[in-house]
Amino acid sequence: MLIYHFTTLKTLEYILNSKLLKFSKLEHSNDPLEHLYSKQLIDKFVKQLYPTNYQNILTHFHMNVSNNNDLYLDGICFSKKLNNVHNWMEYGDHGYGVALGFDYDKLKEIFKENNLSEYIDLYNVIYSRASVLRKIGEIASLSTNPIEAGRQLGRLYKYIKQPSYFVEYECRIIHLPSKYTDEFNESNIFSKSVFFKDETFNSYGLNLEILYEKGVFKKIVFGCNVKKYVSEIFKKQTSVNFMNIKYEYSKVIVNKKEEKYDD
């Protein structure tokens, strides 16, 4: 299964030049109430499931959330749906952008093979309240220690969205709260080839060259409004480091806004 990272042509240029698919601040999600909704839902369900012990669990959960608010360079968002008008409009620059295709299963394998899953992994965003309730039950039953339960809830907190966003079919790469610290950096996680740091922009992210070599980075899909000559320029640039990458043009029709990228 392929998953897609939608972005603009300007960002694609940065990605190709830096060979970095960088982490972004999930607090800048298109849903401004996402984190408030997620926190309130977890609070409600923990109290419902564990009426005698909820205060201890929630204390550690809230500590994890507050301690990590300033460290929100912690996510890369993807969608399982390529032919989706909403995604092209919201994230693909109204069809003037691109979608980068990645192999979901191989990406998960890389995290596992490099023993990274404790620190970082790929998760399907949860939209259903019933699924959130079930997940909290699993966390609390497996994590009898309130401190560990709080950490796990802190991870869950970052991949819950309101049901109205179901149309995005989103999945995210996220890190475990309290691990994106000096301990995380000192573990040399970013020297394990899959990750690296762009010193120019002080950004962490996925090493696109390694993902290409491992068969994870599969294709580039241009939006329906990208002019042919513009896509050819990017193809030429891409061929330098990603010779056999596949190219496609989106069949999703998105209404044009103002003309772009004519210079």
* pLDDT score recorded for residue 136: 92
Q: Provide the whole-model pTM.
A: 0.85
Q: How many CB atoms lie within 10 A of CB 259?
A: 9
Count, residues in the chain: 263
Q: Which residue would you say has higher pLDDT here, 39 or 200?
A: 39
Phi, psi of 33 (to 5 degrees): -100, 10
Phi, psi of 195 (to 5 degrees): -120, 155
Quote the CA–CA distance of 237 and 253 in Å, as a whole number.
26
Helices (DSSP H) in the chain: which residue ranges?
9-18, 34-49, 54-68, 85-90, 104-113, 129-142, 146-156, 182-186, 208-213, 228-238
Closest CA to 90 of 3, 7, 21, 2: 7
CA atoms within 13 A on the CB side of 77: 23
Taking each helix axis from N to C end, the angle separating 34-49 and 146-156, rounded to the nearest 10 degrees, works out to: 140
pLDDT 10s digits, 192-204: 456 665 666 556 7
Q: Which residue would you say has higher pLDDT here, 51 or 120?
A: 51
pLDDT over 60 (residue 131): yes
Amino acid at site 50: Y
pLDDT over 60 (residue 262): no
Residue reference for tokens 């959330």: 65
Confidence of residue 73 (pLDDT cuts 50, 70, 90): very low
pLDDT over 60 (residue 110): yes
229, exposed or middle or buried, with CB in 10 Å at 0-12, 13-18, 19+? Answer: exposed
pLDDT over 70 (residue 31): yes
* pLDDT score recorded for residue 20: 86
Confidence of residue 91 (pLDDT cuts 50, 70, 90): very high
* pLDDT score recorded for residue 87: 95
Sign of CA dihedral 81, 86, 88, 91: negative
Task: Give mean pLDDT, residues 105-125.
Answer: 81
Task: Give mean pLDDT, residues 205-232.
Answer: 92
Q: Which residue would you say has higher pLDDT here, 111 or 90?
A: 90
Confidence of residue 112 (pLDDT cuts 50, 70, 90): confident
Closest CA to 117 of 70, 173, 77, 159: 173
Confidence of residue 234 (pLDDT cuts 50, 70, 90): very high
pLDDT 10s digits, 145-203: 888 888 888 888 888 999 999 999 999 988 654 444 444 443 444 444 566 656 665 56
Taking each helix axis from N to C end, the angle separating 54-68 and 146-156, rounded to the nearest 10 degrees, works out to: 50
Average pLDDT, the chain: 82
Structural domain boundaries of the chain? Answer: 2-249
Q: Helices H, strands E: what count in the chain? A: 10, 11
Q: Which range, 78-87, 146-155, 209-218, has the best average confidence (pLDDT)?
A: 78-87
* pLDDT score recorded for residue 148: 84
Pairing of strands 217-222, 246-249: parallel
